[in-house]
Chain A
Amino acid sequence: MRQSSIVPILAALAGFLLLWQAVVVISGFPPFILPAPIAVLNRFVTAWADGTIGPHLATTLLEVTLGFAVGAGFALIAGYALARSAFVERLLSPYLVAAQATPILALAPLIALWFGPGLVGKVVICALIVFFPVAIATMVGIRSVDARLLELGRSLRATRRQILTTLEIPAALPSILGGIRVGVTLAVVGAIVGEWAGAERGLGVLINLARGSLFDIPLMFATLLLISFVGIALYLAVVLVERRVVGAR
Chain B
Amino acid sequence: MNGRGSLMARGVELSFPVRGGGTLPVLGGIDLAVPGGGIVALIGPNGCGKSTLLRVAAGLLTPSAGVMALDGAPIPGPDPRIGLVFQEPRLLPWRSAAANITYPLELAGWSAERQRERLEQLTELVDIDRSVVVNRPAELSGGTRQRVALARALALEPEVLLLDEPFSALDALSRERFDLELLHLWERAATTILLVTHSIAEAIFVADRIVVMSARPGRIVADIAVPLSRPRSIADLDEGVVSRTAREVRRHLGEAGDPSDEASLAAAS
Give the B-binding residues of A (Cβ under 8 A).
148-149, 151-158, 162, 166-167, 170-171, 173, 246, 248-249
Task: Give 30 pairs: A residue, B residue, CB < 8 Å, sorted on A.
Answer: A148-B86, A148-B88, A149-B90, A151-B60, A152-B90, A153-B107, A154-B60, A155-B58, A155-B59, A155-B60, A155-B78, A155-B84, A156-B78, A156-B103, A157-B78, A157-B107, A157-B108, A158-B107, A162-B107, A166-B92, A166-B103, A166-B106, A166-B107, A170-B94, A171-B94, A173-B94, A246-B94, A248-B136, A249-B136, A249-B138
Find chain A residues with CB under 8 A from B104 CB.
156
Report yes or no: A149 in contact with B107, Cβ–Cβ below 8 A.
Answer: no
Q: How far is the CB of B199 from chain A (nearest CB, A)?
A: 22
> In this assembly, does B80 line the interface, its C-beta being within 8 Å of a C-beta of chain A?
yes
CA distance A162 to B108 in the complex (A): 10
Contact with A along B125-153 (1 / 0, CB 8 A): 00000000000101000000000000000
> In this assembly, does B47 line the interface, its C-beta being within 8 Å of a C-beta of chain A?
no
> DSSP majority for the B interface?
loop
> In this assembly, does B254 line the interface, its C-beta being within 8 Å of a C-beta of chain A?
no
Find chain A residues with CB under 8 A from B86 CB.
148, 152
> In this assembly, does B93 line the interface, its C-beta being within 8 Å of a C-beta of chain A?
yes
Give me the 8 closest cross-chain CB pairs, A-B, nearest first: A156-B104, A170-B94, A157-B78, A155-B78, A155-B84, A158-B107, A152-B90, A156-B107
* Number of A-B residue pairs having CB atoms within 8 Å of each other in the complex: 42
Given A149-B90, A249-B94, A154 and B78 touching (CB < 8 A)? yes
Find chain B residues with CB under 8 A from A167 CB.
92
CA distance A170 to B93 in the complex (A): 10
CA distance A155 to B104 in the complex (A): 10
List residues 53-100 of chain B with CB under 8 A from any CB of chain A. Answer: 58-60, 77-78, 80, 84, 86, 88, 90, 92-94
Q: How far is the CB of A147 from chain B (nearest CB, A)?
A: 11
Residue among B59, B78, B84, B136 with the highest chain A CB neighbour number at 10 A: B78
Find chain B residues with CB under 8 A from A166 CB.
92, 103, 106-107
CA distance A153 to B136 in the complex (A): 19
CA distance A154 to B136 in the complex (A): 22
Report yes or no: B90 in contact with A157, Cβ–Cβ below 8 A.
Answer: no
Given A154-B78, A157-B80, A249-B136, A170 and B92 touching (CB < 8 A)? yes
Q: How far is the CB of B268 from chain A (nearest CB, A)?
A: 30
Given A156-B103, A166-B103, A148 and B94 touching (CB < 8 A)? no
Find chain A residues with CB under 8 A from B94 CB.
170-171, 173, 246, 249
Smallest CB gap from A146: residue in B: B90
Q: How far is the CB of B172 from chain A (nearest CB, A)?
A: 25
Q: How far is the CB of A7 from chain B (nearest CB, A)?
A: 30
Smallest CB gap from A158: residue in B: B107
CA distance A192 to B88 in the complex (A): 51
Pick from B78, B92, B108, B136: contact of A149, CB below 8 A. Answer: B92
Smallest CB gap from A152: residue in B: B90
CA distance A152 to B90 in the complex (A): 8
